[in-house]
Amino acid sequence: MAYMPGSDGVDAPRRHRCPKVEVLNTTAKEASVGEVTTIGLDLAKSVFQAHGADEGGGVVFRKKLRRDQLLAFFSSQPRCLVAMEACASAHYWAREIGTLGHEIRRSRQPM
């Protein structure tokens, strides 16, 4: 089916001019600390990203943490698996977070 531009001056098929918008009503609840079994940690220079997951792999939380907040955050979490990418600073953070009782796993960087 070929498209023929209409007289309205818009050069797009009609189906692209009227997008459907679906509104999702979700309520964000504070995660129970007992639900988190794995925390993925994205390391950076000053702002870190922590992603908590439950046993089924569902997202429990996503948090931005500054360097000075990181250890306080992990001390408030139950003991769990913490996964991070292996890099120069990962060894330092693995030691620090490991002293809080968490199990640490570092993944190799992709080539």
For 51-105, the pLDDT digits (tens) are 999 988 899 999 999 999 999 999 999 999 999 988 888 899 999 999 999 999 9
Residue that has been written with the tokens 């060894």 in this structure: 91
Q: Side chain identity at 48, as an amino acid letter?
A: F
- Return the domain boundaries, the chain: 35-107
**Beta strands, E only, 1-111:** 38-42, 47-53, 59-66, 81-85, 103-107
pTM for the whole thing? 0.66
CATH superfamily of 35-107: ATPase, nucleotide binding domain (3.30.420.40)
Q: 95: helix, coil or strand?
A: helix
